[in-house]
Amino acid sequence: MTSETQAKIEKLINDNKIFVFMKGTKLMPMCGFSNNVVQILNSMGVPFETCDVLEEPEIRQGIKDYSSWPTIPQVYINGEFVGGSDVMIELYQKGELQQMLEVALAS
C-alpha cells in the first residue's frame, strides 16, 4: 500500500465517527454483506459515511492491508475497526452495537 493510500484511509476513518468501506454506496449497496451493514446502521438511525471500494481499487486492497481483515465491508466506529457484516449482525443482536454507537456519537 502506498503512503498516499494509507493517508487517505486514515483521513476517512478519522474524519467520520462511523465509516464503512463497502461495495457500492449506502443508497445502492452492491453486495448482500454491505447491504446488511447499511440496513443495520439505517435501522439505528445513526449518521454514517461510506467509501465504495469498487470505485477505488487501491482502497479496496489497501483497507484489507490496513486492518489485516480479508473481507469487505469493514466498519470503523470512532476510529476503531469493529469488523464486517457478521460481527455487526452479532453486535446488533446482542444489543452491544447500540451502546457503541451512542458512545461514539456522544464523544
pTM for this one? 0.95
- Quote the pLDDT of residue 1: 87
Architecture of domain 3-106: 3-Layer(aba) Sandwich (3.40)
Q: What's the pLDDT score for residue 54? A: 97
Q: Give the DSSP H or E segment for 15.
A: helix 3-15
- Residue 82 neighbours by CB under 8 Å, 6+ apart: 75, 76, 88, 91, 100
The pLDDT, as a whole number, for residue 44 is 94
For the chain, residues with pLDDT lower than 70 are none
**In the chain, what are the domain boundaries?**
3-106
pLDDT at 107: 81
